Amino acid sequence: MLVFEDVYFYHQKDAPILKDIHFTIQSGEFVSIVGKNGCGKSTLAKLMNGLLLPKKGDVRFHHLKTANSADLIEIRQQIGFIFQNPEDQFITTTVRDEIIFGLENIRVPKEEMEQRVQWASKAVGMEFYLDSMPHELSGGQKQRVAIAAILAMRPQCIIFDEATSMLDPLGRDQVLTLMHSLSQQGLTIIHITHHMEEVLHSDRVLLLDNGQICFDGQPIDLFKSVSLKDYALLEPVAVRIHRLANEAWSFTADWEGALRQLWDTSLKT
Ligand SMILES: Nc1ncnc2c1ncn2[C@@H]1O[C@H](COP(=O)(O)OP(=O)(O)OP(=O)(O)O)[C@@H](O)[C@H]1O
Ligand SMILES: [Mg+2]
């Protein structure tokens, strides 16, 4: 359970980035976080695992508190972070060393490491690349290695901060499939994205605007009740087609004409 209680954050005192943030994320939830560029999504994510500390209020993970420096090692082991650019997260020269590096940081006994390396690399389908150099891999493969390095630490929660945004459709699909499979295995998944198609299958979505949470609920209710354009977000195609179809069919019985018109309109909007 991840709890934000009355959280405020700023870099300069007179310019708060996050204000009065309250929410609880239950273990095993798949939560998407959306909002305009610069609205504070990454700041919120970094507060979750203590990469940033609140200026006011508390961030708690179960009995641990990010403000307690003694709790930080365990929090960072329990809450993994996958960044947008896979290049930014590699430190070593082989996939195997990359996974081992994280394990050394949390002091996993040497004799347990190989088994964890094998298990985590297999979980992301990268078991045949253990001796490859991370920088030579494709974008999707790099993100899967980054996920393996986190998984090997056996976290309870993984935050993906726009982790799919630099990938082609295949790489994106692979990472999204992996996220959903981890969620089905009981991990808590927090997915920051600008792609509303990716939000459709989450349990819950938080919409952030102007440093505050302005929607917290199921994706379907977000699409029904919020004008996404106001937040620089696009409706998922299925939702857009459904809305336009309702509008088109209400004034014509000519379904073929309506379909043609709908197609033209959908291309323009
Ligand atoms: N070190 C810093 N000093 C001052 N302001 C900062 C600093 N880091 C971030 N900010 C500001 O904090 C605000 C929130 O940034 P954040 O990166 O959390 O937004 P975001 O929602 O993740 O944006 P994006 O969608 O572009 O990733 C932005 O206005 C940004 O300029
Ligand atoms: Mg960001």
What is the per-residue pLDDT across 131-147, written as a single tens digit (0 to 9) for each? 999 999 988 899 999 99
Same domain, 106 and 190: yes
- Residue 139 and residue 136: Cα distance in Å, rounded? 9
Contacts of 132 (CB under 8 A, 6+ apart): 94, 95
Same domain, 246 and 225: no
- Residue 50 and residue 68: Cα distance in Å, rounded? 9
Same domain, 134 and 263: no
Alpha carbon nearest to ligand 1 atom 13, residue: 38
Q: Decide whether any atom of ligand 1 lies within 6 Å of the 13 Cβ.
A: no
Same domain, 159 and 209: yes
Alpha carbon nearest to ligand 1 atom 14, residue: 40
Count of domains in the chain?
A: 2
Same domain, 185 and 258: no
Same domain, 173 and 256: no
In terms of residue numbers, what domain contains 243?
236-269
> Ligand 1: which of 11, 32, 48, 231 to mutate, most ligand atoms within 8 Å of CB?
11
The residue among 214, 229, 244 that closes a domain is 229
> Ligand 1: which of 8, 34, 43 to mutate, most ligand atoms within 8 Å of CB?
43
- Residue 80 and residue 158: Cα distance in Å, rounded? 5
Structure token pair of residue 50: 């203590």
User: What is the chain's pLDDT, residue by residue, as a tens digit (269 residues)?
Assistant: 999 999 999 999 889 999 999 999 999 999 999 999 999 999 999 999 999 999 999 999 999 999 999 999 899 999 999 988 877 778 889 999 999 999 998 889 999 999 999 999 999 999 999 999 999 998 889 999 999 999 999 999 999 999 988 888 888 888 899 999 999 999 999 999 999 989 988 999 999 999 999 999 999 899 888 988 899 888 888 777 777 777 666 655 565 666 666 667 665 65
Same domain, 17 and 46: yes
pTM value is 0.89
Alpha carbon nearest to ligand 1 atom 17, residue: 42
